[in-house]
Amino acid sequence: MHKLIFLIVLAHVSPVFAAELSSQTIDPHQLYEQNCARCHEPHARDFVHKKLIRPGENLLGRKSNKDVRELLKAGHGKLTLKEIETIVDHMTNIYQSGRLYHKKCRICHDLSVKFARLNLILKEGKLFGRYSGNDIEQFLSAHGRLKANEVSKMVDVLKRQLITTKNKD
């Protein structure tokens, strides 16, 4: 019921974003918090940066040196294949971001997922302030102590918070 109300409100604010969200089935944040956080860190961000490394293409356990995807496929966490791909993609994105949001934004703003979902919207693939209407990429060029080469990376981090993993059939 809550999801339906959320989608109705969102459709009024941003029809494009509501259509994108309604076609998605797995929220990686929710997936981690419901299936991983009871045994690991409360947030995937902390788990990724404390427990994982990425010496090549795959995420590995820092201590075990085991491939996270293969560990999950072997039954750790009891996730479906779709959930495994969702969580591995999510963790890979977190790793690649280099904690940019945490270093530059967290001092003033809430967790990136909460901040983005409450304050930002997507219109035709571009990120805007939900209430200000500001083009976020332009806004960030003069906000948040971001260097010029960090702005597009930050926009990608924030977009990911709005677009959850789509069905991968």
User: Taking a C-beta distance cutoff of 8 angstroms, is the pair 122, 162 a contact?
Assistant: yes
Mean pLDDT, residues 40-64 taken together: 95
Q: Give the burial string for 128-164 (b: 16+ CB within 10 Å, else e).
A: bebeeeeebeebbeeebebeeebbebbbebbbbbbeb
The Cα 128–Cα 2 span in angstroms is: 24
The Cα 44–Cα 29 span in angstroms is: 7
> What pLDDT, on the 0 to 100 scale, is given for residue 86?
95
- Of all residues in the chain, what percent carry a pLDDT higher than 70? 82
Mean pLDDT, residues 42-52 taken together: 95
Q: What are the residues whose beta carbons fall under 8 Å from the beta carbon of 109, sequence distance 6 or more?
A: 115
Q: Which domain holds residue 13?
A: 2-166
> What pLDDT, on the 0 to 100 scale, is given for residue 18?
46
Residue 165 has pLDDT above 70, yes or no: no
The alpha-carbon radius of gyration of the chain (Å, integer) is 17
> What pLDDT, on the 0 to 100 scale, is given for residue 144?
86
The Cα 85–Cα 74 span in angstroms is: 13
> What pLDDT, on the 0 to 100 scale, is given for residue 135?
97
Q: Which tokens in the block code for residue 118?
A: 């409450």
How many CA within 13 A on the CB side of residue 35?
18
Q: How many domains does the chain have?
A: 1
pTM of the model: 0.76
Burial of 80 (0-12, 13-18, 19+ CB in 10 A): exposed
Q: What are the residues whose beta carbons fall under 8 Å from the beta carbon of 149, sequence distance 6 or more?
A: none
Residue 6 has pLDDT above 90, yes or no: no
Residue 164 has pLDDT above 60, yes or no: yes
Mean pLDDT over all residues of the chain? 86
> What pLDDT, on the 0 to 100 scale, is given for residue 9?
47
The Cα 155–Cα 57 span in angstroms is: 23
